[in-house]
A and B are shown apart, each in its own frame.
Chain A
Amino acid sequence: MQMLSGSDANKAPDASTHASASFEALLAAVVDAAYGYAFRLSNNRSDAEDLVQEAAMLAFRGFGSFEAGSNFKAWFFKILTNCYRSKYRKDRRRPTVDLDDTPDLYLYARSGEVGFPTGGPDPAAMLLDRLGTEQVVAALEQLPDEYRIVSTLYFMQDFSYEEIARALGCPVGTVRSRLHRGRKILQKALWQVAEEAGIVHPSRSVEL
């Protein structure tokens, strides 16, 4: 993505300067990440572009309230997340994965049951390497929004818990608990997707 101006685009300009060029330089540094995040949330390229554009317009208008030296990416992602929530809240499909009582280490236990390895340098690869990106995305789609949004930020953006909290406008403890539950639900959803794809079978072992 071409930088429109500036060299250190994740740092804020002087507080007295809120020129378009400075904003565009900051935006240029995060636009790929923002688009990827918007695409994973909306699952649609055109909608993702619209979301980023709308968030950019709002962010530019509110740029005066951006605190110089703070994290522009987290600030922009907060606006982007709220744009998504505002536009798509009612459109989300209902999850089909059972959200109740997902035990810890779900994939570990299920993998062991069907004969997939649970040890070695990359034990989950036997399962995940057989899943395509769209299947992993389909599993992520099974999460209710409160877990899906935080999990998407976590898996795609390399944000710390603190940065996720800033991007979502919630306490770090909320991020921690939602990530924990989101991971558990995601593991269950991944297994469900793998079963539906015939990669694993619930009642018998697979041939390795």
Chain B
Amino acid sequence: MSEHLDRMTCEEAFRRLDDFLDHELNPEEMRLVQEHLDVCAQCTREFNFERSVLTGVRSKLSRIAAPPNLLSRIAPFLGRPDPKDAPDADGSA
């Protein structure tokens, strides 16, 4: 009986969809979402579709190699004085 009470509803599982697909939930929540998916065909269908979208977009935005001589072209510029309009080295603009 207590095991049943631990189960998520569709709404609770759906709220965690992004985090579940990105493995950003803690192990207990991952387990609870997975348990819900194991018994809910509609949520499984929706989760699988969202995963498929993410995979498809990721594959289209595949990595792009830098030009082979980019590093060697950068090296001589290292250590030069600050350009006046450049942001700070700590990343602040």
Classify chain A's interface size: 35 or more
Would you give 14 A-B contacts (Cβ < 8 Å), ordered by A?
A4-B71, A23-B78, A36-B63, A49-B67, A79-B91, A83-B86, A111-B49, A124-B49, A124-B55, A136-B57, A155-B58, A156-B61, A176-B19, A180-B18
Chain A contact residues, CB within 8 Å of chain B: 1-2, 4, 20, 23-24, 27-28, 31-36, 39-40, 45, 49, 52-54, 56-62, 65, 78-79, 81-83, 85-86, 104-105, 107-108, 111, 118-119, 121-125, 127-129, 131-133, 136-137, 140, 152, 155-156, 160-161, 169, 176, 179-180, 183, 186-187, 190
Q: Are the CB atoms of A2 and B68 closer together than 8 Å?
A: yes
Q: Are the CB atoms of B78 and A60 closer together than 8 Å?
A: yes
Q: Are the CB atoms of B18 and A160 closer together than 8 Å?
A: no
Instruction: State A183–B18 Cα separation when bound (angstroms).
Output: 9
Say if the beta carbon of B70 comes within 8 Å of chain A.
yes
* Nearest neighbor of B78 in chain A, beta-carbon distance: A60
Nearest 6 A-B pairs (CB), nearest first? Answer: A62-B89, A128-B56, A35-B66, A124-B52, A36-B64, A136-B60
Chain B contacts for A132, CB-based, 8 A: 60
Say if the beta carbon of B12 comes within 8 Å of chain A.
no
Say if the beta carbon of B45 comes within 8 Å of chain A.
yes
* Nearest neighbor of B77 in chain A, beta-carbon distance: A57
Q: Are the CB atoms of B87 and A161 closer together than 8 Å?
A: no
Chain A contacts for B27, CB-based, 8 A: none
Instruction: State A61–B56 Cα separation when bound (angstroms).
Output: 39
Say if the beta carbon of B35 comes within 8 Å of chain A.
no
Q: Are the CB atoms of A118 and B49 closer together than 8 Å?
A: yes
Q: A33-B63, A53-B77, A155-B58 given as contacts; is B22 within 8 A of A122 (CB)?
A: no
Q: Are the CB atoms of B49 and A123 closer together than 8 Å?
A: yes
A129 partner, pick from B14, B45, B56, B83, beta carbons under 8 A: B56
Q: Are the CB atoms of B45 and A122 closer together than 8 Å?
A: no
Say if the beta carbon of B3 comes within 8 Å of chain A.
no
A56 partner, pick from B54, B78, B93, beta carbons under 8 A: B78
Chain A contacts for B53, CB-based, 8 A: 107, 124, 128, 187
Q: A82-B93, A155-B58 given as contacts; is B71 within 8 A of A1 (CB)?
A: yes
B18 partner, pick from A23, A79, A179, beta carbons under 8 A: A179
